[in-house]
Amino acid sequence: MKPRHPIRLRLALWYAGSLLILLLVPGALVRDAVTDGLDADFEASIQRNAELLRGFFRLEVTEYLGVEASLAHLAREVVIPDRHVTFRNPDGAAFAVLEDPSEPSLSPSVPVRTRLVPLDPQLAPGWTIEVRASEADLRALIRRIDGWFIVGGSLGLVLAALAGWLVTGRTLKPVGTMAAAAEHITAGNGGRLPIGNPNDELGRLGQRFNTVLDRLDRALEQQRSFLADAAHELRTPVARMRADVDVALLPKARPEARTDALRQIAVDLRGTGEILDELLQLARADAGPALELAPSYLDDVIHDVYTRWRPAAERAGVCLVLEQVEETRVNMNVDAIHRLAAILVDNALRYTPEGGRVVIRVADVGGVATLEVEDTGIGIPQEDRPLVFRRFFRGTQARRRVAHGSGLGLPVALWIADQHGGSLTLEHPSTGTLVRLELPVLSAPAETAQAV
């Protein structure tokens, strides 16, 4: 790839080139106007010379009573500087020549302008005045004007380039300052780009970069916190499993102790598997790929979730009720919505005491598909409600009720809801908790509508 010149040099050259073009156009127009004016003045001076001679002739012809005598007298008495005048008779032959003896003769190499005008149609019919004027002085003056334009234009171009270099250097100085500062910014060190003028384009650009750096620092801090929390959550069950393995491997361990250790290991493995599964789900969420959505029925997914979790509810002594189910067609990822609903039902069963009740509802409410999971459990304390969607957060009451848990279920559910363009909210009745998922409803397919 062809190397490019520095931005400062390119801007200076562009500035100088643009200014040169802006100067050349009016300069050329002015030059043409001046030279045209000089040429017109030169032509007018020749015409005035001819008129002057005609005036002298009219005076002389009344005194000398003859054209030839009058012209001969004029040739002897009148001198016009820088002009060579010839009086020609009606045949075109030269009769008399009027010229300044001190002036050199016209050289063939010098451009000469010649004008032939009638002497006087009434007093001297057929006689003419031939005025010849050297253009040397006119050409020299035009050359000087062109020289002034060339010198002035060249000087202006140099000054424009220098001014452009200085102006662009001053303009781009904040860029150099920000580039130097950027070299010292590392992950998490809190460094930011210096902003000279926050109201100009470079200042706003620097502010946008600083905003991006703020987001990156927050994401990095969140990642560090996420890793620390994940390590903490996994360390406890792993430590318990290691202790159970050590107990089971004791030479004098009783069979009952080994069996209890294996049962505890199985419980911890299930819990660890759930944590790893949720961590994987959140890692995919942070990676950014969107879920693939397709039209499907929310009520069918909820029927399946209800069927799968009813045995667990019976074992926990909790009444799981599918209270209301309306046919609701939405654009969704079936596996993801199934997981979201399972998270909500699992949480409701975990934190509802024996003899409690968990109710599931699916309805189309004003063009919004609504899934509600309401329980009569321990509820969420006021101080914990703003934090329930934070990763790994588990309130004090939740930990007392269920010792094992990752605190990742609701963050995963919230991400799934966001991927579907929906919302996930919590309400807090007098007893228990109500979680509501809202998704946009799709119109029923054409064949279904016709069948109805």
Task: For each of the domains in the chain, give its residue range(s) and CATH number, in order of start.
Answer: 7-100+108-154 (3.30.450), 201-283 (1.10.287), 291-451 (3.30.565.10)
Assign 238 a pLDDT band (cuts: 50, 70, 90): confident
In 3D, which of 197, 157, 151, 153 has the Cα closest to residue 175?
197
In 3D, which of 335, 354, 339 has the Cα closest to residue 309?
339
Span 381-401, average pLDDT? 69
pLDDT of the residue at 101: 65
pLDDT of the residue at 386: 78
Residue 371, pLDDT > 90, answer yes
pLDDT of the residue at 436: 92
- C-alpha to C-alpha distance for 51 and 263, rounded to whole angstroms: 133
- Range of 11-25, 34-48, 56-70, 136-150 with top mean pLDDT: 34-48
Q: Which residue has the higher pLDDT, 359 or 150?
A: 359
- C-alpha to C-alpha distance for 43 and 427, rounded to whole angstroms: 100
pLDDT of the residue at 439: 92
Enter the tokens of residue 50. Answer: 């001819």
Q: Helix crossing, 7-64 with 136-182: angle to 10°?
A: 170
pLDDT of the residue at 229: 60
Residue 323, pLDDT > 60, answer yes
Q: Is 300 exposed, middle or buried, given 0-12, 13-18 or 19+ CB atoms closer than 10 A?
A: middle
Residue 99, pLDDT > 70, answer yes
- C-alpha to C-alpha distance for 96 and 68, rounded to whole angstroms: 9
Question: In this predicted model, what pLDDT tens digit does every residue of 131-168 receive, in sequence order?
Answer: 888 888 888 888 888 888 888 778 877 887 887 788 77
Residue 198, pLDDT > 80, answer no
- C-alpha to C-alpha distance for 92 and 349, rounded to whole angstroms: 130
* Window from 83-97, 253-267, 300-314, 423-437 with minimum mean pLDDT: 253-267
- C-alpha to C-alpha distance for 311 and 346, rounded to whole angstroms: 12
What's the Cα-to-Cα distance from 99 to each of 45, 82, 105, 108, rounded to whole Å? 16, 8, 9, 17
Q: Which residue has the higher pLDDT, 197 or 52?
A: 52
DSSP annotation of 251 reads T
Assign 286 a pLDDT band (cuts: 50, 70, 90): low
Q: Which residue has the higher pLDDT, 194 or 323?
A: 323
- C-alpha to C-alpha distance for 100 and 98, rounded to whole angstroms: 7
Q: Helix crossing, 201-248 with 255-287: angle to 10°?
A: 170
What's the Cα-to-Cα distance from 365 to each of 242, 328, 340, 371, 384, rounded to whole Å? 51, 10, 20, 10, 29
Residue 51, pLDDT > 70, answer yes
Q: Which residue has the higher pLDDT, 190 or 248?
A: 248
pTM score above 0.75: no
- C-alpha to C-alpha distance for 35 and 141, rounded to whole angstroms: 9
Angle at 27 (CA atoms; ends 25, 33), nearest 5 degrees? 105
pLDDT of the residue at 405: 56
Q: Which residue has the higher pLDDT, 353 or 235?
A: 353
pLDDT of the residue at 120: 86
Q: Which residue has the higher pLDDT, 322 or 163?
A: 322
What residue spans of 296-380 are helical by DSSP H? 298-316, 334-350
**87 in Cβ contact with 75 (< 8 Å):** yes
